[in-house]
Amino acid sequence: MAIENLVTDPNHFGKSKTTLYYYALNKNLVTCGKSTFFKYTSILGYKKPKRFKQQIKKVLELPEFLSGYMWILQIFQLLKVECKK
């Protein structure tokens, strides 16, 4: 019953099974092994909610002192293409 109370307690929402296990050991709520604890939490249907991961947009930003020289870079790229032909 202690495992069921831990799993359904809203204060422990979002915690991993390992965190719940060591919390229960420190409070002397359970006296079983970790694999047994994991088995019973799985039987009770405990699933840790997954965090929403935002995609990181990778944008090449030139420093302010280089922004004025962007046209020079474009000219050099055009010259490279013309030289290769």
Residue range(s) defining the domain that contains residue 17: 2-43
Residue 62: inside a domain: no
Confidence category of residue 60, pLDDT binned at 50, 70, 90: low
Residue 53: inside a domain: no
Residue 23: inside a domain: yes
Scanning 1-85, the segments in alpha helix (DSSP H) are: 2-8, 17-26, 34-43, 64-67, 70-84
Residue 19: inside a domain: yes
pLDDT tens by residue, 19-35:
999 999 999 999 999 99
Could you tell me how many residues make up the chain?
85
Tokens of 41: 């939490």
Residue showing tokens 């474009």: 74
Q: How many domains does the chain have?
A: 1
Confidence category of residue 37, pLDDT binned at 50, 70, 90: very high
| Cβ pair 44, 7 in contact under 8 A | yes
Residue 25: inside a domain: yes
User: Dihedral through CA 8, CA 13, CA 16, CA 22, nearest 10?
Assistant: -70
